[in-house]
Structure 1
Amino acid sequence: MRKKYAVLTLLMTIVPALLAGCQSDGEQGPATSTQESSAGSGYNGKDQLKITDKPITVTLFYAFGGNGAPKGDMPAWRETAKITNVAMKNVANESITEEKQAFNTMLSSGDLPDLIHGQRDTINPIISQGALIPLDDLIAKQAPNIQKFLADYPEARRAGAGPDGKLYTLTGTLGGEPGKALPSMGFFIRQDWLNKLGLKAPTTLDEYKKALYAFRQQDPNGNGKQDEVPYFYRDKGIRPLLQLWGANHEWYVGKDDKVHHGKAEPEYRAALKELSQWYKDGIIDPEIFTRGSQARQFLLGNNLGGATIDWFGSTAAVNDAVKAQVPAINFVAMAPPADVTGKVKFNHTREPIHSYAWGISAQAKDPVTVIRYMDFFFSPTGERLMNFGLEGTHYELVNNEPVPKPVALSHSGGFPNFLRSIGAGYEIGRRGSLAGELNSMNDIGKNGFTMYQKSNWLAKPFPVLTFTAEEKKTIDNAMVNLTPFLDEYEQKGLMGAQDVDATWDKHLEEMNKMNLQKVLDAYNSAYARYKAESK
């Protein structure tokens, strides 16, 4: 009943606002089914990319988050309009930089743009509320590039499907191969410290532990003090280290082909118990819960930090940033140490598709034009434009491969931020390119990324699941309390404020009282649908 009421409420808000939406420049009018004829009949997604004979403006909601947002007057979008004859107007409130707040403000206004963009877990729930239209028929008739993309990346179809199995949103890729995980972070260690202490790069958990203890006890920074911080992390807690005990920090699919929460499993208990001893012995940063995002820069810049697990590009770049203070620093990526079972793996990976998506709203007056517009970004021309900018201005073709020009590579914020400055690089529905990420890295970063990418260590990411409105409500209602509860237990256990073995059984009881099992049931229900759709 609540679900029906939510749908009715949204539709009552949407219907009076039908004057919003994609329109011919300079005129407005009521939505009509005959507006399909406004789209130029010559568009084929390949060598004919002009979508309409008459200039059209498509409205888009794309929140102005931490990385900004695309605007229609940016070079990449002006070029898109020049090619397609379709301009873009971003209607998001630029003064609201918190994405969910901006998204909810747009929805509550009842005035929906042609295209709605957002995080997949934010945008998918509005499917059941009637705010988006199904795309299957439009794609089959009007979007050849999207058809090929969905065939190449079946996980993208699953990510954009509603509970009825129809496709409502389109995501994009980060680059890489379909079905294969992408590296995100990796193990980093002070090679200069290893050399000074006569140690080899560790290849097992035991060797990793010995190296970290040596960093603490043998004064590798040479200042005569026991001030080294062997392991640090920019985020709170011990999440990346858990994999060395076969533990998971969140949701995962177990050997029984069921969804579990890692922090309710015995492997997590074993990891937390051992790591609490590391913390007691000074191996783990004593300020790991409070030091924050500047931990890496501060500890390496002061020649105190020994190892971490972090993103390749930005972590490798610290070598250059602190070279003046620490001339001998050589902070390099290393292979993951074999875990307690002897297996070499790395859990912190990325799925090939990114976490954002966009869809056509129920108020769009000309869905044909909009789906062709979306299709353009999956064309080779649109893909290259959004991955590299404008040919001749931002990149040159060398042996038919785009090579960024100095203006792009010398940007103070790196290549990804350069792309955003011209309106490219944003996470719309399109094929991404790893070139943008690699172009922003120094040699240490590139070598680490490539080492992980070419390996067989990368664990398959947790699958993209689509939840019903009721499942989403169950999960949200429980996790709002469970998440801080789990975080608090980890902090107390690590810091020795409570004994892990003595409190574990009671901890599990409390988790179940807080409806963990209901959340697991919701996840497993969604996972069952995922498996059925994958056959």
Structure 2
Amino acid sequence: MQSLKRLTSVMLVGAMTAGLLSACGGDKEGQTSSGNDTNKEAVEPAVKTEGFPIVENPIKLTFFAGKAPSAPANWNDLPVWKEYAKMTNIEVDFQLTPTESLAEKRNLVLSGGDYPDAFHTARLSPVDVMNYGSQGIFIPLNDLIDKYAPNFKKLLEQYPEIKKGLTMPDGNIYSFPTFYDPEFKSVIIGQKLWYNKSFLEQLGMKEPETTDEFYEYLKAVKTLNPKYIPYAASNYGSLLDEVKGAWGLGNRGNAHRMDIDPKTKELRYIPASPEYKEVLEYMNKMYKEGLFVDNLLTIKGPEVNALMDEGIVGASVTNSPHAISGVSIEHFVGAPVLKGPHGDQVFSRARPALIDLGAFVITDKNKHPEATVRWIDYFYSEEGSKLFFMGIKDLSYVEKPDGTLEYTEEYKKEPSKYVSFAGGFYPALLTAKTYKGGESTPESMEAAAKAEPYWPEEVWPAFTFTQEELNRYTPLHTDINKYVDEMTAKFITGDTPFSEWDKYIQTIEKMGLKEYKEIYSAAYERFKNNG
């Protein structure tokens, strides 16, 4: 059990994309025989393979669910879930756990054996999914998806990368993910680099398109007014991820610290590369010259938003500034993908569309796995996505004559009265048509369009590891990356001089970089061959 607790504490970020699909219709009914050996003795009511209700005789299910601070306190009373219960004849009891205690409570429930029918929005990592799936606690879904998940099955066929990312080393799929429409680049990107357009106009400068021009712009902002802050964000990580592509790093997206070395065509650990040193030297130059907000390492997002709202910030990497609640930030325009000193220009912050691998799992306690798969499958159709994100037509949203959707005034006043998706990590398909957050505004869509020409040729989701691999991978991954984080901050702030770079590389190698890369390589080869 100690080993299990240690392994389940590892969090690996996953993600990939999704497309606009229609909901399935029709009235065909199919008698089911459970695809899960654990439930063979259970009496499963007739489950429709298409259409609603899913079952003629009502059933009840209990879901463990994670509740983000921005999400409603009680999902069971929300119109979206009451409506879906009527449609399906399936009543779900959402048992909510706040995200701040989610991992601890979730692991206690699982290790104690008194767990529910399914875990919804519970932030399960790929390691968690593999661990509990291999133990039989989470049931395999391969056959169930084939028979009872027409919408999700269609996505698997349309986007092979989903299946590659979801398939565990034992060949099974144990979870339904968060999946973003691959065409909806704005939401896949998330945070973006923004320039203060009014400052550019005052300075008579065009939008910086190279790392040198970006540096010169920040220097110029500082000359406009002593109170102005050239660059402000919460910590340095988002800007580091933005500019590393100008040195050709992150050519497989931002879910890993590994990519492919274009010279050797082999895996490259980015923080141990010569190019990474140049990126840190660039960041250090800006830090030393006072081009970053003074408390860069400690300032929080809302404080940054307040500074931007004051009109004193020249640039920031943040979510859509014009759509941040509680402020009215103006004059910001999305930045182009920066070109570096050697001609490199890669959008290194690209994320996979398979955003959260472990958004929904079904446990071996579930007596109705077929009906549960049908229940969750609806949210991977356009109609289901519309219900999940927009709520009830004419109550929380209206549909305009041109087919576009818009939230009602009642929804805008208090969205938590209608839907539960706030906070992310949900099992659903998200599209530009059915999601109306800040990422869907014209400004964000225009900003994302600037990144598309420089999108990596392939964006990796999280990889999966065997139990044997995890025994070594987990401590190596934790220790090496902790050291890299510490040293990255010290190089940027100047607490460690770059004369110590060789010592830094030697330390990483002594910590087991070679073995770490070998394990990673095995996982990468397995990922390539999935499907």
TM-score (norm 2): 0.82
Give the letter aligned to residue 279 of structure 2.
Answer: A
Alpha-carbon offset, residue 146 of structure 1 = 2.4
Alignment partner of 2:313 out of 305, 315, 321? 305
Equivalent residue for 1:58, pick from 52, 61, 76: 61
Aligned CA distance change for structure 1 residues 299 and 180 (closer, same or farther; 3 Å) = closer
Match of 1:90 among 88, 94, 109: 94
Query: Identity of paired residues, percent?
Result: 23
Find out whether 1:265 has 2:265 as its counterpart: no
Counterparts of residues 98-137 of structure 1 (less than 5 Å):
98-117=101-120, 118-121=123-126, 122-137=128-143
Tell me what 2:522 maps to.
525
Distance change (3 Å), C-alpha of 1:332 and 1:432: same
Q: Does 1:429 align with 2:419?
A: no
Following superposition of structure 1 onto structure 2, how do residues 453-492 of structure 1 map, counting pairs within 5 Å?
Answer: 455-459=452-456, 460-492=458-490
Cα offset, 1:374, TM superposition: 2.1
> 1:322 deviation in Å?
5.3
Q: Structure 1: which 5+ runs fail to align?
A: 8-30, 324-328, 413-417
Partner residue, 1:73 = 77
| Structure-to-structure mapping, 1:330-479, within 5 angstroms | 330-355=331-356, 356-399=358-401, 401-407=403-409, 410-411=412-413, 418=415, 421-424=418-421, 427-435=425-433, 437-440=435-438, 445-452=443-450, 455-459=452-456, 460-479=458-477
User: CA offset at residue 390 of structure 1?
Assistant: 0.9
Deviation at 1:85, TM superposition (A): 0.2
1:184 to 184, 190, 199: 190
Corresponding residue number in structure 2 for 1:326: none
1:316 aligns with 2:322: yes
Counterpart Cα distance in 2 of 1:482 and 1:284? 27
- The 1:116/1:159 distance shift into structure 2, 3 A limit, reads farther
Worse overlay, 264-273 or 490-499: 490-499
For structure 2, which runs of at least 5 residues remain unmatched after alignment?
Answer: 8-37
Residues 137-165 of structure 1 deviation map (CA, whole Å, 9 limit, x = unaligned): 22222232222122123222223222111
Correspondence list, 1:156-305, <5 A: 156-177=162-183, 182-216=188-222, 218-219=223-224, 221=225, 226-237=226-237, 238-240=239-241, 241-248=243-250, 250-255=257-262, 256-305=264-313
Counterpart CA distance in 1 for 2:417 and 2:271 is 37
Query: Could you tell me which of 34, 46, 49 is aligned with 1:44?
Result: 49
Amino acid at match of 1:307: A
Q: What CA distance in whole angstroms lies between the structure 2 residues aligned with 1:360 and 1:517?
A: 37
Which 10-residue stretch deviates more, 188-197 or 329-338? 329-338
Is the alpha carbon distance of 1:152 and 1:179 closer, same or farther for their aligned partners in structure 2, counting shifts above 3 Å?
A: farther
In 1, distance between residues paired with 2:284 and 2:292? Answer: 9
1:468 is displaced (CA, Å) by 1.4
Q: Report the counterpart of residue 23 of structure 2 in structure 1.
A: none
- Alignment match, 2:20: none
Name the aligned partner's letter for residue 90 of structure 2: V
Per the TM alignment, residue 135 of structure 1 is displaced from its structure 2 partner at its CA by: 1.2
Equivalent position amino acid for 2:137 in 1: A
Amino acid at match of 2:232: F
Q: In structure 2, what is the Cα distance between the partners aligned to 1:62 and 1:186? A: 30
**Could you tell me how far apart the structure 2 residues matched to 1:263 and 1:6 are?**
25
**In 1, are the aligned partners of 2:68 and 2:98 still within 8 Å (CA)?**
no
Match of 1:332, SS? strand
Amino acid corresponding to residue 317 of structure 2 in structure 1: I
Residue 109 of structure 2 aligns to a residue whose secondary structure is helix
- Is the contact made by 2:185 and 2:448 (CA closer than 8 Å) also made in structure 1? no
How far apart are 1:439 and its partner, in Å? 4.6
- Matching residue's letter, 2:305: Q
CA contact (8 A) 2:247 2:341 kept: yes
Helix, strand or coil for the counterpart of 1:171? Answer: strand
Rate the CA distance shift 1:410–1:365 in 2: closer, same or farther, 3 A: closer
Equivalenced residue count is: 486
Higher alpha-carbon Rg:
1
Letter in 1 for 2:55: T
Using the alignment, how far apart are the partners of 2:266 and 2:158 within structure 1? 26
CA distance 1:369–1:294, shift in 2 (3 Å): closer
* In 2: Cα distance, 1:82 partner to 1:271 partner: 55
